[in-house]
Amino acid sequence: MAAIKSKICLQPCNWSAPAGSLFLLMLLVIMLIAGPVSARQAEFMQTTCWFTVPKDRDMRCGHLVVPENRTKENSAVIKLAVVIFEPDRERHEPVVYLSGGPGQAARIESKGDIEEWWRFIDNGAWLRGRRLVVFDQRGAGLSEPLLSCSKHYSPALWNGIISHPNDPLDFDLAQKREVEACRDDLIGKSIDLAAYNTSENAADIHDLRGALKIEKWVLFGISYGTKVALHVLEHHPQEIIAAVLDSTLPLDVNYVDRDAANLDRVLNKLDKDCAAHPGCRGGVGNMKALINEIVQQLDAQPILLRLKSNDRSTTFTRVSGADVLELIFNQFYDRGAIEMLPQLIRQTADQDYGPLAQMLSFYDMKEDSRAFADGMHLSVVCSDRMSPAASPAKFALLDSWVRDNFYNWACPLWPSAKSVKPNGPRQKNEVPVLLLAGEYDPAAPSNWSEDLARHMGRSQFVLFRGVGHDVIDATKCGGDVVADFLTNPEARINTSCVREMSAPQFSIPEGDNTDELMTVSVLPSMLHR
């Protein structure tokens, strides 16, 4: 049993032996009364790596064993998968990577995943001479238990895909049944779903540092990982030499209910940059006006797209105004997708649905059960939710999209920790922090990071032109800025590469851009949610 660290006998026990028998019996009784040792003290258990270690690379693998629920005295224990990338010569403090999601795997499962990490390390000057600690957060990836819903979820159902236009399907009811099935399955495995939250994630970071016997390290968080990092900074600042926060979610922001305001903000930015781009305004027109036209038209009369892929299989998907807004929101994550947005919007407004259908078709794929843990995502998000503001801002264009918020009905079905109350005034931070933000980020808008940097102290904020979510992976400049920061976290960083960045270089519609492998036709909508 993984919860028991000690064994009474390494060989079959001989309880009739006179010497030491009473002591062993007393020790056994004490252990039974006290409960599993691992439930009280975290431990790193080194193992053989579960992948082939690349030649000429030094690595360590193992599992961090921690309590599932630290608020319970007799908690069960869980295991977090850990991989440590060792440098040729260690010259600086280690870095611990905090993945996003929540529920996103850190991708440390296969040889290919590990090779990708080594390429990331080799291309990042800021990681040279440092150990990099990468782990799957509780409930995700290779950690045990895995809070996956993949065996209960039908990807086609969640993406509005049907086999025949006359299929009578209530998507909302079917999705609720799948969420309930996943919940009941995980609870049936004695998993305490309320224990999978940001507070416990942050406590895992604290325990991991201690178990690896690291005095101080650098926190490197992306997206949801920044929220975990901020929690660690608040409760264990003495363990952190510096922190790098990319696409930040502040602790006191109700990020779930801000999508409408965030999307409105980046749409305004898109409209402004398109107007300044040669050919974009003339070739596309006013972005927000076009989107408003599309949404109103499709909300009044949704369309049913028939998609035929290169394997000759045919499926159908119903598209409303809210569906288009969801797709546009997701496109803002990536600079390349941002540069294609004016073209997508113009063609959709002209009722050329080829590009739209092509993008929607990619969602009708099997989900990797370890790539994203839906159960972990729900546990964290539903625990993090705060009460909405008394008088939320109104965004008429986005009303229908906001009303269809998945969490509004899913969270009441899901066991979670008590809702987080907004923190009081932000405390001054004594650890040097670098906050990176993309000006087009729809999920963690740059103004959140900028405002946080102004109030938390010892912080520097850098805005990246034309970038969406996840700055480090979007532009080499992000890594250059981080490298300069970590060279001397107390000094003002060099942002010369940021000044050289440009606005998105938009693609302008030219002729028929429909994918050759995809034929599209529009049918009268027969579906009703």
What is 48-83 written as a DSSP string? --SSPPPTT-EEEEEEEEEES-TTSTT--EEEEEEE
Domain count, the chain: 2
For residue 239, being part of any structural domain is answered with yes
What pLDDT score was predicted for residue 336?
93
Q: What is the CATH number of the domain that holds 117?
A: 3.40.50.1820
The percent of residues in the chain predicted with pLDDT above 70, rounded, is 82
Domain that holds residue 75: 40-147+195-254+421-510
For residue 386, being part of any structural domain is answered with no
Mean pLDDT, rounded, of the chain: 84
Give yes or no: residues 222 and 116 share one domain: yes
Query: Which of 349, 364, 379 is the last residue before a domain boundary?
Result: 364
Give yes or no: residues 241 and 287 share one domain: no
For residue 355, being part of any structural domain is answered with yes
For residue 529, being part of any structural domain is answered with no
Give yes or no: residues 306 and 249 share one domain: no
Give yes or no: residues 460 and 338 share one domain: no
Per-residue pLDDT reduced to its tens digit, 52-108: 999 999 999 999 999 999 999 899 999 999 999 999 999 999 999 999 999 999 999
Per-residue pLDDT reduced to its tens digit, 14-49: 222 333 433 333 333 333 333 343 345 799 999 999
Query: Which of 341, 364, 387 is the last residue before a domain boundary?
Result: 364
Give yes or no: residues 249 and 354 share one domain: no
Per-residue pLDDT reduced to its tens digit, 388-416: 654 455 677 787 787 778 898 999 999 98
Inter-CA distances, 396 with 142, 256, 292, 445, Å: 43, 19, 9, 20
For residue 117, being part of any structural domain is answered with yes
Give yes or no: residues 216 and 335 share one domain: no
Per-residue pLDDT reduced to its tens digit, 415-455: 988 765 555 556 678 899 999 999 999 999 999 999 999 98
Per-residue pLDDT reduced to its tens digit, 240-291: 999 999 999 999 888 888 888 899 999 999 999 998 988 787 777 788 889 9
Give yes or no: residues 72 and 208 share one domain: yes
What DSSP line would sit under 210-249, residue for residue? HHTT-S-EEEEEETHHHHHHHHHHHH-GGGEEEEEEES--
Give yes or no: residues 247 and 356 share one domain: no
Query: Which of 364, 380, 409 is the last residue before a domain boundary?
Result: 364
What DSSP line would sit under 422-451, residue for residue? PPSSPPPP-S-EEEEEETT-SSS-HHHHHH
Look up the pTM and report it.
Answer: 0.86
* Angle at alpha carbon of residue 502, lines to 120 and 477, rounded to 5°: 25
Give yes or no: residues 479 and 350 share one domain: no
Give yes or no: residues 206 and 288 share one domain: no
371 vs 366: CA distance, rounded Å: 11
Give yes or no: residues 219 and 127 share one domain: yes
Give yes or no: residues 316 and 248 share one domain: no
For residue 9, being part of any structural domain is answered with no
For residue 527, being part of any structural domain is answered with no
For residue 237, being part of any structural domain is answered with yes
What burial letters (b/e) apply to 486-522, b meaning 16+ CB within 10 Å? beebeeebebebbeebebbebbebeeeebeeeeebee
